[in-house]
Structure 1
Amino acid sequence: MTLLQIMPAAGPGTVYLRTEDLGAIRGELLKIGVRFARWHAARRIPADADDATIMNAYRSHIGQVSAESGYRVVDVARLTHTSADPEPSGPGRPNRDKFREEHIHDEDLTRFVVAGAGCLYLHAAGLVYAVLCTGGDLLSVPSRTAHWFDAGARPRYTAVRFFREDGRRTTRFLPDGIAARFPTLDDLLAPP
């Protein structure tokens, strides 16, 4: 289920729009310069597919986006939670709280969700756009757009990431970020 929930930046308890309609999601995100698309694999891939299998399954889509936007580096990133590790962050895994801090990048943020779910929160034009992305969703967010990300308390998320340059990425955390005031991915999925 792909979902968009729009809230005022000053009032996270108010919901202006909550929709699963892909056309409405695409239209609302275009208003802030964000590209949203749905992709389908050329063939079915297993849930535990390795990086090469994923890259092959989406080769034509990856090539098209890379050519259109000048991306030279493409990789696969995973966030997982295993029953053997009760905490969402552990040895060799990123801390969930780090992703949930409002920040900006000097490069566009382009991600294609292969499997699982993750919520990208975009802070733009006085609003917060919570975009719950699932397998098949592509988002391309303009550089310097304030955002944060949450894959939930028990993450299961695999995505193809696109970059223009190889090497270290610049991330600037915002000193008075608003992320902590907004619902988490788990909150968005909870029944009303």
Structure 2
Amino acid sequence: TDADQDMVIAAYRSDIDRLMAHGGYRAVDVISLHPQHPERDALRRKFLNEHTHAEDEVRFFVAGSGLFTLHIDQRVYEVLCHAGDLIGVPANTQHWFDMGPQPYFVAIRLFTNPAGWVARFTGSTIAEQFPRYEGGAA
């Protein structure tokens, strides 16, 4: 809810302000997903495909976990994020995100331009060649 988002932002306001000033970000929101979310399967499938964004993808995990997989220069790197982790995926980096079959995470998202965050799918099937993340809700 908006109230939950406002509470998370208020709790991390000093960190958010520091990151916004340092990175030139102009917008912030909170994404939250739980195992009972009615669209969890569709949301998981959407971001399991390799894609890029026109701007950096910056996430601070407040709770839960998720797996970012980065495809850089013919190599693949998995970055498992938990509560307290900050990740910045540079603009135009090929990657995918797996929240697991029972997703549970709360993450603060920072944007230079929220419209720039739109996923541009590469059409590659590389993500299908890697094991899925089985984490999420305990």
Report the TM range for the smaller structure's normalisation.
0.7 to 0.9
Match of 1:38 in 2: none
Unaligned runs of 5+ in 2: none
Residues 96-133 of structure 1: CA distance to partner in whole angstroms, max 9, x if unpaired?
11110000001001000010110000011221111110
SS in 1 for 2:117: coil
Match of 1:96 in 2: 44
Report the Cα offset of residue 168 of structure 1.
6.2
- TM-score calculated relative to the size of structure 1: 0.64
Unaligned runs of 5+ in 1: 1-48, 188-192
Amino acid at match of 2:25: Y
- Structure 1 vs Structure 2 CA RMSD: 2.0
Match of 2:15 in 1: 61
Match of 1:70 in 2: 24
Counterparts of 2:118 and 2:94 in 1: how far apart (Å)?
13
Report the Cα offset of residue 157 of structure 1.
0.9
| Structure number with bigger Rg | 1
2:59 equivalent among 103, 107, 111: 111
Alignment of structure 1 residues 171-186 onto 2, 5 Å: 171-186=119-134
Q: Would you say the 8 A contact 2:54–2:116 is kept in 1?
A: no
In terms of fraction of residues, the more helix-rich structure is 2
**In percent, how many aligned pairs have the same letter?**
44
- TM-score calculated relative to the size of structure 2: 0.87
Measured at CA, do residues 145 and 167 of structure 1 come closer, stay the same or move farther in structure 2, by a change above 3 Å?
Answer: closer
Higher relative contact order (CA 8 A, sep 6+): 2
